[in-house]
Amino acid sequence: MRAQTKKHGTSQTKALSATRLDEMHDAGDDLSAHLEFAKATRPGREVQRVNVDFPVDLLHAIDREAKRIGVSRQAFIKLRLADTLENSR
């Protein structure tokens, strides 16, 4: 049987089955040579970009709190929205 190959840049690597990747993972092997991180997705976590207008005072407060906890503005907004939605259930 002929081995499948996958182009990756200028080199070619053998395509591995899910079973083989599972075995390698379970053995603690490095899988990075077999993965394309730039094309990775998280099923069920598709992203849609939105634009939101905030009052300047609120934006300054968001920035202060984001800096205080060490995250970006975007990460802070996502965290607070997720927390609020989770607590409202």
pLDDT at 80: 96
Closest CA to 2 of 11, 14, 12, 10: 14
Block mean pLDDT (10 aa), the chain, length 89? 52 75 92 84 85 97 97 96 93
CB contact at 8 A, 68 and 61: no
Tokens (6 digits) for 2? 């002929």
pLDDT at 46: 84
Taking each helix axis from N to C terminus, what angle separates 73-87 and 56-69, rounded to the nearest 10 degrees?
A: 90
pLDDT at 70: 96
**pTM of the full predicted structure?**
0.53
